[in-house]
Amino acid sequence: HVSPLKAVVRFLLTAGLGWMERASIRPLFCKAALPAGSCLPAKSGPLCIGLKTRRHAFRALASSSQQQEELSANPHIPPHAFKMKETQRMTVDPGALPWAGWPNWRPSGRPQSNPPSTDPAASSTHLMMPSVQAKDGIPLTLPGTIPTSKPSAPHTPQPMAAATAVPNPLAHILSDQPLLQAADALPSADAGMVTLRAAADHLRAGHIAAIPTETVYGLAGNALNANAVASIYTAKGRPADNPLIVHVSSLEMLAGLYGPGWQLPEVYRAVVADAWPGPLTILLPRSLKVPDVATCGLDTMAVRMPAHPVARALIALSGCPLAAPSANSSGRPSPTRAQHVVEDLGERVALVVDGGPCQWGVESTVLDGLRVPPLILRPGSVTYEQLIKY
């Protein structure tokens, strides 16, 4: 026999838990594992960060009707593309985009190692630094170089050679101008560009969309818009203490997140010159322009430059970096085709850009070069063997 009071309490608990499940509040009360090697500040926890994330999400939902009216007047985008009860699927042929064939993009994303020198005078002895064991990741032991001692030769004066310009190894990722100029040169009725501009307008307006990358399909939103980032967490059911990766299209865009005179840390220059654009994510000090909801209150942020022609074009055309975790419900396999996204997320994402199957099918490698020695926080498409060369 159950007393009336117990029955009422049981009913209220059941109804409350059911409401929290439908409203995606459950992640607030379960502490998910952080990415290896990362940690929360002492005064922050999953609960308070979760509440902040949900607050942003509720604001985004509250303002969706007003944004819908503003966006319906945009001539570039079909109004029905923003109805949350429908999913608009747009198709782009990556191979038809003029920048898809640019050789310096290295779309395979594999770091290019320099061939070994055959000059005996250039030989050197390599000293391996002792490996640092770490439970939260894979340690990298970087080689130091000690030149071999050789007898000194008599000095012979040589005529001064004319100064030659040293090519910048980062030149291929410095600016978005080559891509934007190539896009402007295409006919206005070009099917691929019509789709890309429509999707870029959609992202710039603060909405989210599933986009292709060379690794997996990502659920993208403006990384500088707290409401857009919160919508990503809500659509995925992602734990609110799991930070997102910020995707940029050029070093110029990345530098724009910091103050004047910012430069890429020296530790990353060689590997970024070879591996970007590609499936390598690096850890940088957090930019104050990136909201807390994207970094989960950490003092660092993860940054990547995708090699997929569609993804990089969307970032450049939207004019803003994109936060883009995998476009799947939290805990489910990462999608490698647009159809996987539609079957998984369904009506939770208003726009899916179909750029064909992904090349890798594995998430990007996350490298923390801010610590000594550098640490692989997440193994991925770029291997330990490739990174150890740097």
Strand extents, DSSP E, 50-130: 88-91, 124-128
Report which listed range, 13-27, 88-102, 362-376, is most confident: 362-376
- Region 89-104: what's the mean pLDDT? 87
Band of the pLDDT at 143, cuts 50, 70, 90?
very low
Q: Give the residue from 335, 218, 214, 363 showing the smallest Cα distance to 278.
A: 214
Q: Residue 212 half-sphere exposure, CB side, CA atoms within 13 Å? A: 25
What pTM was computed for the model?
0.67
Query: In whole numbers, what is the pLDDT of the chain averaged over residues?
Result: 74
- Of 36-45, 50-59, 207-216, the range with the highest mean pLDDT is 207-216
The pLDDT score that the predictor gives to residue 188 is: 86
Q: Is the pLDDT of residue 390 over 50?
A: yes
Mean pLDDT to the nearest integer, 297-317: 96
Q: What is the pLDDT of residues 193-227, one digit of tens each?
A: 999 999 999 999 999 999 999 999 999 999 999 99
pLDDT over 60 at 34, yes or no: no
Category of 278 on φ-ψ map: left (φ > 0), alpha (ψ -120 to 50) or beta: left
- Give 3-state DSSP helix, strand, coil % of the chain, rounded to 5: 40, 15, 50
Main-chain dihedrals φ then ψ at residue 88, nearest 5 degrees = -90, 125
Q: Distance (Å, rounded) from C-alpha 188 to C-alpha 190?
A: 6
**Nearest-angstrom CA–CA distance, 47 and 247:** 27
Q: What gap in Å lies between CA 382 and CA 106, rounded to an integer?
A: 13
Edge-first strand order for the sheet with 280-285 is 88-91, 351-354, 209-211, 218-222, 322-323, 245-247, 300-304, 280-285, 365-368, 375-378, 138-139
**Burial environment of residue 388 by CB neighbours within 10 A (0 to 12, 13 to 18, 19 or more):** middle
pLDDT band with cut points at 50, 70 and 90 for residue 12: confident
Span 71-89, average pLDDT = 50
Rg, C-alpha atoms of the chain: 24
Least trusted range by pLDDT, from 121-135, 238-252, 339-353? 121-135
Residue 78 CB coordination number (10 Å): 14
